[in-house]
A = this chain, B = another copy of it.
Amino acid sequence: MKIDITLKRMIDDSYPIHIGGLPPIEFPGKVAILTNPKVAGLHLPKLLGSLKAKEVYIITIPDGEQYKTLQTIEFILDRMFDHRLNRKSSLIAFGGGVIGDMGGFASSLYNRGIDFIQIPTTLLSQVDASVGGKTGVNNRFGKNLIGAFHQPRAVYIDPTFLSTLPEREFGAGVAEIVKMAVTFNRSFFEWLEANDLREGENLEIAIKQAVETKARVVEEDEKEQGLRAALNYGHTFGHVIENETAYATYLHGESVAIGMVMANDLASQIGLMHVDEAERVKAVLGKYNLPLFYDIPDVEKFYQAFFLDKKSADSAITFILPHGIGDVEITDTVSPETVKEVLGRFQTKVLAV
């Protein structure tokens, strides 16, 4: 005997992304703010001044990618239960990408899902991580391997939070902006070549352009069945670099910058991208002092680490490679030999023999 259970329904997870000064935000129930001590010290008074809620709780976790673990999620959930949050409560993720990913993840798990709001305070999280509903944590096998899709109710991007951002973190954010341009928007890339994001209104213009690009991609392909995978350009390589360096050497955006250089080299090797265009991408990244080289200790080990990547199927590795600037190709047909040859160029020890 067979009983069919029919679960077809319309889902509406649409939400607004506000760019500009933080407006007053009102909540009907309890609110918990997830943040870290650094962001709290610099910006919490401003946020609290904008909130109107029945009860507000602050949950603070240590700053840093190394705390993006399931253990920290359990700590956050425990505090949410301590504060007796319920299904009508909301969580505000107030900080960079780590806070956003973990706040979204914890709110997806609490009572099987409560509302959350993203208020990103770093350039990287403003242009990328805060939009799209990907949440999760790392483990010893790699980055973002455990998680959930959980869309925020709203995102508030206030560029004035960036005034306190250290230069390295600024550059790390620029890397993701460059990513959007190289994968989807050639004229935006040319604008980036001609303009300095540290001058005048340029940063806000670039944030809007990057968020707009990402929003359209996520609308097309929320669960990353196709198009959205293109946003992982530079990440396939970058994640391995971050993992090999225990998240201690590079900021996420910095490893993505190196990853894009590697992806471009591979794209050039198989004839998808002219070397001149690869050089132009390097030049833009270099303007913001981003690293462009990583000395791979063991090519074979680096290669094997790809297989833990979510994007890779049973036996083939999926690469996101630029097809010139402004277009992208997702391919799993590059031969292992070609990949290892390109990786070999990022190994000074071998070159020195």
Contacts and interface: CB of A to CB of B under 8 A. Distances in A.
Given A86-B314, A312-B86, A14 B10 contact: no
Contacts of A8: 10-14
Interface size on A, as a range, is 35 or more
A213 B111 CA distance: 24
Nearest to A109: B146
A1 B14 contact: no
A194 interface: no
Contacts of A208: 1, 3
A22 interface: no
Contact of A3 (B16, B111, B308, B314): B16
Given A3-B215, A5-B218, 15 more contacts: A1-B208, A2-B17, A2-B18, A5-B15, A5-B17, A5-B219, A7-B151, A8-B12, A10-B10, A10-B11, A77-B146, A110-B145, A110-B146, A112-B147, A112-B310
A145 B14 contact: no
Contacts of A74: 70, 139
* The 3 nearest A-B residue pairs measured at CB: A7-B13, A81-B141, A111-B310
Contacts of A17: 2-5
Nearest to A133: B7
Q: Could you say how many copies of this chain the assembly holds?
A: 2
A153 to B, nearest CB: 11
A11 B149 CA distance: 14
Nearest to A311: B87
A297 interface: no
A10 B312 CA distance: 26
Contacts of A20: 1
A112 to B, nearest CB: 5
Interface of A: 1-20, 29-30, 54, 70, 73-74, 77-78, 81, 84, 86-88, 108-113, 131, 133-134, 136, 139-141, 145-149, 151, 208, 211-212, 215, 218-219, 222, 307-308, 310, 312-314
B16 A7 contact: no
A7 B1 contact: no
A222 B9 CA distance: 10
A142 B174 CA distance: 44
29 contacts: A1-B18, A1-B20, A2-B16, A3-B208, A3-B211, A4-B17, A5-B14, A5-B131, A5-B218, A7-B11, A7-B12, A7-B133, A7-B219, A8-B12, A9-B11, A29-B314, A54-B314, A70-B73, A86-B310, A86-B312, A86-B313, A86-B314, A88-B314, A109-B148, A112-B134, A112-B136, A112-B147, A112-B149, A112-B310
B14 A81 contact: no
A145 B5 contact: no
B113 A7 contact: no
A55 to B, nearest CB: 9
B30 A4 contact: no
Which of A5, A112, A133, A148 has the most chain B CB atoms inside 10 A of its CB? Answer: A5
Nearest to A73: B70
